[in-house]
A and B are shown apart, each in its own frame.
Chain A
Amino acid sequence: MEKIDKYQLISMTILFMIGSTPLYELGIGVKQDAWIVMVAGLLAGLLLLALYLYIQRNHAGMDFFQILNTHLGKLVGTVLSVCYVVYFAYESMRNTREFGDIINISFLPNTPLSLLMLVMVLLSGYAISKGVEVFFRVAEFMFPFTIFGYAALFCLIIGSNIIHLDRLLPVMEHGLVPILEQAIPEVISFPFGQIVVFLMFWSHLNEKRKMVRVSVYSYLFVGVLLLLFNVLNLAILDPSITSITTFPLLRSVRLIQIANFLERLDPVIILLIYIGIFVKMTAFYLGAVLGLAHLVRISRFKLTVFVGAAIYGMSFLAPNFIYHVWIGFAQNLKYHFPVFQICIPALLAAIIFCKSWNDKKKKRAKQPS
């Protein structure tokens, strides 16, 4: 069994959750209250995280697919496993296509999308073929650079005096209802609920006792970071401009101007976003590979190639970026992802809870006799 330590888990959780999220303004449907949507999503996501951790805690050393099979039986377990493999691969493909298009829109408009995505999938596939440990070490290595990058951007934004906090007022103009409507389930499904894939990795952690604390703290840290950049976009671009901009953070960063020479920092943000995207797409890719390994008995390497090819192939499904974003944000987040992130884990947790409760009752019943 491959082992990871808690620092690697921290780095992985944080980079994974950052992903491409800062680039988008989640909850912009409610204009200046978008950040409250983020807070609501963050808190609701914390409940989900607790749910996942509860499932994992009761089954140390088992990954998600094994747990599914143990509790739901061979047939249902296998069907759900296949569904999850598809789901993980799909999430991975979403990130692949997304970054390909970001590069197309921003830096290399004439470079073929197919090539950009091929490079990304190959890179992820290479990381995965080396195994879980190597991938987590890569995350650990990239973690300080990423955090430093975001911190530096934050300082530069402060330094160029482009923040207008008054643009966040009035707070909650239309009450709490539209905010919650935005937060649930959209902001939960992206990015907070995606942490479901960690059910595949937690079993590798060498210090099991630290799992809950490490995960929750990393989650809170990254939640605050995402919230910060969400607020910054609103305050820099004004809710109106934010709502029509494809990548608000990219635009905000382009406004940095310090002392007439430090400006046009968009490559920095693209680089940071790529680190996040790489970690996220590889994590989902790895999740799919590990899951498939339970179902079919062929070598890890062949699985990696197979899943990679599937991800690469799927990434051409959307005819254009507009459709890709529409299907992701307007369809998947509302109707499809919650099934995998909320419904099935909740069901599983309920079954586990009932079983353990039953066991306790039986024990108690036995004890007096």
Chain B
Amino acid sequence: MNRWPFLILLLLIVPLFVTGCWDSKELNSLSIISATSIDRERDHWVVTFQVIIPQAIATQTGGGGAGSQSPTTIFSTNGRTIREAMQNASLETSRMLFFAHNSILILSEKVAREEGVGQILDFFLRPFESRETMSILLTKGKASDLLEVLIPLEKISGNAVKRVIDQSQRNLSQVQNIKLIDFAARVADPNASAMVPELQVSGNLKGQSSLDALKSPRNEAVIKLGELGVFRRDKLVGWLNGEESRGVAWLSNRVKNLIIVYPCSAKGGERDSLSSFRVLKSSTKLSSEIQGGKVTMKVQINARGVLDETGCKMDLSNPRVIAEQQRIIAKEINGEVVSTWNRLRTIETDAPGFLDVIHREHPDAWKKLAQSKHPLDEITIRPQIRVNIEHTDMINKPYSTLLEQNKRP
């Protein structure tokens, strides 16, 4: 009887050494994927991976990866399902594909428009190693092309793209990083549309995909963020240009940092002179009102910022002048918001999630709207914009006033 506890203890200890054997993964048997793209060719999915080559990035000196070896390698495979395509990849790699560090997923316009993203989302939400925090991007051409472009300053272009998005989101609110999980939630939401930034190559793609490209200071091609793709349910239905993506940012309370360029006077007189207003803080409040079956969406925008640059001649220390400037900026924002809304209505996508707001505030009115064929046509918006110029930075009068004084005798 005394031996029993000992035996049990032994039984408990032995499995500790055994667990993990079935699932051991050695680092040098993995090929780590940094970016993935999905295209569609006839009835096949074409999945392209960008795989990091560890030897090429493991150098002490940073900067551009101008070594003798490309920092990443790319291969494409196809299959009837995405998983089959991935599985076919193992026919041509020496290492097991490791997905957990994939940071971006690029979809081609064709896939998003024709196939819809339903199956893609299903696939990427399912396996444990796939991360919900990867960024989603769209491209108008072949998605795999984007993975070929080498980016200066960065070694792994998948990570570089992620940084470009993060950086531009911080400094320019029209671009919004969208994580897989948020994208999936937006697509599933019947009352809102998902928006995904477009990634494009501008320039000569061939030139920038060879390693020699990084040796010259001027790039043959650059990867840059472009328009904004809007979805209706799981299908891409249209693109919003720069101005419209700013309008959407205003409407959906995403403006953090933005430059507004505006003319000196509301009449647009001095045509050549423009000023820049830099938004530092902004909030947008959406609230719906129902009056006699009509739905009005109140859009209260409150933007605060500084005057960053001006070519106009005016006395900026005079509060009345500043008030006038604020009015012009508000008009400018108003224009963006209204034109964006008109565009959204024509492509019938509810990118800012107005229906969601109505659903939350007036469930009954929402029920009526949800049955209507063109619910967005029944909503009118009423923007109320308040702009506050907090200061004019380090100079309080435009430099151009000095030039005026010099003219005088």
**Chain A partners chain B:** yes
Residues of A within 8 A of B (CB): 105-112, 115-116, 118-119, 122-123, 125-126, 129, 166, 169-170, 173, 237-238, 240-241, 244-245, 251, 254-255, 257, 263-264, 301
A240 with B132: CB separation less than 8 A: no
Determine, out of B19-27, B61-69, B80-88, B368-376, the stretch whose residues face the partner at the interface.
Answer: B19-27
**Are B132 and A254 in touch, CB under 8 angstroms?**
yes
Out of B9, B20, B125, B363, name the residue touching A108 (CB < 8 Å).
Answer: B20
A241-B184, A241-B188 known; A251+B132 contact, CB < 8 A: yes
Q: Are B363 and A170 in contact (CB under 8 A)?
A: yes
Q: Looking across the interface, which residue of chain B has its beta carbon closest to that of A166?
A: B360
Contact B18 A115 (CB under 8 A): yes
Task: Write the B122-165 contact mask toward A (1 if CB under 8 angstroms, else 0).
Answer: 00010010011100000000000000000000000000000000
User: Are B128 and A301 in touch, CB under 8 angstroms?
Assistant: no
Question: Given A126-B8, A237-B185: A119 and B133 within 8 A (CB)?
Answer: no
CB closest residue in chain A, given B186: A238
**Seed contacts A115-B19, A169-B359; 5 additional CB < 8 Å A-B pairs:** A108-B23, A111-B22, A122-B15, A241-B185, A264-B131
Whether A238 lies near B189 (C-beta < 8 A) is yes
Task: Kindly provide the distance from the CB of B188 to the nearest chain A CB, expressed in whole angstroms.
Answer: 4
Task: Indicate whether B91 reaches chain A with its CB closer than 8 angstroms.
Answer: no
8 pairs of residues in contact across A and B, judged by CB atoms under 8 Å: A105-B128, A110-B22, A111-B19, A115-B15, A122-B11, A126-B9, A237-B181, A255-B181
Give chain B nearest CB distance to A120 CB in angstroms: 10
Query: Is B12 in the interface zone, CB < 8 Å from A?
Result: yes
A258 to chain B, nearest CB (A): 12
Give the number of residue pairs across the A-B interface with Cβ within 8 Å: 74
Residue of A112, A118, A166 near B22 (CB, 8 A) is A112
Complex alpha-carbon distance, A107 and B20, angstroms: 9
In the bound complex, CA of A167 to CA of B181 (Å): 14
Whether A122 contacts B12 in the complex (CB less than 8 A), given A112-B22, A251-B132, comes out as yes
Task: Answer whether A241 and B181 are a contact pair too, CB < 8 Å, given A115-B15, A119-B19, A170-B359.
Answer: yes
CB nearest to A130 among chain B residues: B5
Q: Separation in Å of the A369 CB from the closest CB of chain B?
A: 60
**Distance of B352 from chain A, by nearest CB (Å):** 13
Distance from B73 Cβ to chain A, minimum over Cβ atoms (Å):
25
Please, how many angstroms separate the alpha-carbon atoms of A354 and B292 in the complex? Answer: 62
Least Cβ–Cβ distance between B120 and chain A, in angstroms:
15
* Chain B residue nearest to A299 in the complex (CB): B1
Q: Flag if B15 contacts A118 (CB, 8 Å).
A: yes
Residue pair B128, A240 in contact (C-beta under 8 Å): no
B-side interface size class: 20 to 34
Give bound CA distance, A40 to B132, whole Å: 32
A292–B348 Cα distance when bound, in Å, is 67
**B contact set with A: CB distance below 8 Å:** 4-5, 8-9, 11-12, 15, 18-23, 100, 125, 128, 131-133, 179, 181, 184-185, 188-189, 359-361, 363
The answer to whether A110 and B12 have CB atoms under 8 Å apart is no
Across the A-B interface, give the 8 residue pairs with the lowest CB-CB distance, nearest first: A238-B185, A240-B188, A169-B360, A110-B22, A111-B22, A108-B23, A119-B15, A170-B360
- CA separation between A341 and B260, bound complex, in Å? 65
Q: With A170-B359, A263-B133 in contact, do A125 and B8 touch (Cβ < 8 Å)?
A: yes
Partner of B19 from the list A108, A238, A244 (CB cut-off 8 Å) is A108
Q: Which residues of B contact A238 (CB under 8 A)?
A: 185, 188-189
Question: Residues of A contacting B188 with CB < 8 Å?
Answer: 238, 240-241
Determine the chain B residues whose CB is within 8 A of the CB of A116 once the complex forms.
19
Task: Find out whether the CB atom of B363 lies under 8 angstroms from the CB atom of A106.
Answer: no
In the bound complex, what is the Cα–Cα distance between A240 and B192 (angstroms)? 13
Nearest CB of B to A282, in Å = 14
The winner among B100, B125, B181, B363 for most chain A CB atoms within 10 A is B181
The residue among A107, A116, A170 with the most chain B CB atoms within 10 A of its own CB is A170
Nearest neighbor of A112 in chain B, beta-carbon distance: B22
B159 shortest CB reach to chain A, Å: 11
B19 and A107 within 8 A (CB): no
Shortest Cβ distance from residue A178 to the other chain B in the assembled complex, whole angstroms = 15
Closest to A119 in B: B15
A111: chain B residues within 8 A (beta carbon): 19-23
- Closest Cβ of chain B to A34, distance in Å, is 15
Closest to B12 in A: A122
B360: which A residues are within 8 A, CB to CB? Answer: 166, 169-170
- Cα–Cα, bound, A257→B162 (Å): 14
A296 to chain B: closest CB distance in Å? Answer: 19
Could you tell me the distance in whole angstroms from the C-beta of B408 to the nearest C-beta in chain A?
56
Cβ-neighbour of B133 out of A106, A109, A244, A255 (below 8 A): A255
B23 touches A107 (CB 8 A): yes
Q: Is the CB of B359 within 8 A of A129?
A: no
Residues in A with CB closer than 8 Å to B189 are: 238, 240
Query: In the complex, which residues of chain B have a beta carbon less than 8 angstroms from the beta carbon of A126?
Result: 8-9, 12
Q: Which A residues touch B15, using CB under 8 A?
A: 115, 118-119, 122
Expressed in whole angstroms, the minimum distance between the Cβ of B405 and any Cβ of chain A is 50
CB distance from A173 to the nearest CB of B (A): 6
Nearest A residue to B11 via CB reads A122
Q: Which residue of B lies closest to A106 (CB)?
A: B128
Query: Is the beta-carbon distance between A240 and B23 smaller than 8 angstroms?
Result: no
A163 → chain B closest CB, angstroms: 13
Tell me the bound Cα distance from A257 to B8 in angstroms. 42
Contact B363 A173 (CB under 8 A): yes
**Complexed CA–CA distance, A116 and B4 (Å):** 22
Q: How far is the CA of A169 from the CA of B353 in the complex (A)?
A: 13
Nearest residue, chain B, Cβ from A244: B125
Q: For residue A169, which residue of chain B has the nearest CB?
A: B360
Whether A254 and B18, one on each chain, are in contact in the complex, defined by CB atoms closer than 8 angstroms, is no
A309 to B132 CA separation, bound complex (whole angstroms): 40
B50 to chain A, nearest CB (A): 20
Q: Closest CB of chain A to B39's CB: distance in Å?
A: 26
| Residue pair A255, B132 in contact (C-beta under 8 Å) | yes
A110-B23 in contact (CB<8A): yes
